[in-house]
Amino acid sequence: MEKLSDRLVSWASLIDDKTVEQARTSSTMPFIYPHLALMPDAHLGLGATVGSVIPTLGAIIPAAVGVDIGCGMIAVQTQFTASDLPADRRAVREQIERAIPLSAGKQNRKVVATAAPRIAELEALAEAKGFDPSTYAGNWREQLGSLGSGNHFIEVSLDERDDVWLFLHSGSRGVGNRIAQHHIKVAQRLAKQFWIDLPDPDLAYLVEGTPEFTRYIRELRWAQHFALLNREEMMDRVIRQVSEWVGTPVEERERINCHHNFTESEEHFGKRVWVSRKGAIQADAGRLGLIPGSMGTASYVVEGLGDPMSLNSSPHGAGRTFSRTKARQTFTHEQLREAMTGIEFRDTDAFIDEIPQAYKPIDQVMADAASLVRVRHTLRQIVNVKGN
């Protein structure tokens, strides 16, 4: 851990000057307490750095939570080992691709039976919180159970003992994005209204105790729960497809579901603060979490060590070093194929911007995180499903 200033600490050994400067700017906001923590995977983001932990007193910066509210990971350890799996891995990839819409939720034509109780739960929660998600996205119900594009994925993986794990990354989809965008604009409007001088418009904040803050927290928590249930729904579908592929029902040995774009009220350094983790997982001592690598590299099941300076946090993944545009200009389809050797995936140049070389080396990220988490399992992919 390196102390970059009185209000900025970092675990990142691989980080560029622009990212450090962005984090330094965020750390100057007067309500940061006690300091902003940069995770090993930190890289430039909107307003606030992706891979940062931002504790605040009496205020929240909506852009510091991110626009994919509740984005995170879910993993299930099965009873299978590598020897139990059929040789035809393409079959299960295609089965999963048919069972789960891989991009926009509008590709869901109906609410499937397994999703119905989860939607009912979300409807009741929204009613209790006094808002209608349909004002943000009329098709939010159909979005439940859709993966999304970019770095979202579904994987079948093997751990160090060749035990089979199912791994999935997704968030709150279009409805969560629209909730986030709305409140970012509200915060920016209030900053202009009250002549608040901000170092970056995306650092606009909402003040605790105001109606705008209260509404944001209510809708944020709903979107976080949507994201959690969205992952649960997709994982249940993946389990059904794997069960059919192997010819034996999946027995769950362990299920872990964790956010890495979210806000919670927590106590740190003697004060109750709002902790916004934008690309970071909660890593209290003993808490299980998930840290995926990039496409084609290792992922990790971890146990938190409760490092107080990190505000009990750890990285959420590898962290980009190339923008999507730059990656497409730099790397080739053939390099992607080489990186995915031995892994069943949809072989298309659409995924060049997700090539491992566009990310930090996950082994270095995990080395930097040695004081934050303990590795319980190291996973290697054998089947990869990406969003359109």
Active site members: 316
Crossing angle of the two packed helices 211-246 and 89-99, in degrees rounded to 10: 140
Residues 6+ apart with CB under 8 A from 35: 6, 7, 8, 9, 27, 55, 309
Q: Which two tokens stand for residue 92?
A: 């299960």
User: Phi, psi at residue 376, to the nearest 5°?
Assistant: -95, -40
Q: Which two tokens stand for residue 167?
A: 């791994």
Name the burial class of residue 387, with classes exposed (0-12), middle (13-18) and buried (19+) by CB atoms within 10 angstroms of its CB.
Answer: buried
Name the burial class of residue 86, with classes exposed (0-12), middle (13-18) and buried (19+) by CB atoms within 10 angstroms of its CB.
Answer: exposed
Cα–Cα–Cα angle for 175, 181, 187, rounded to 5 degrees: 140
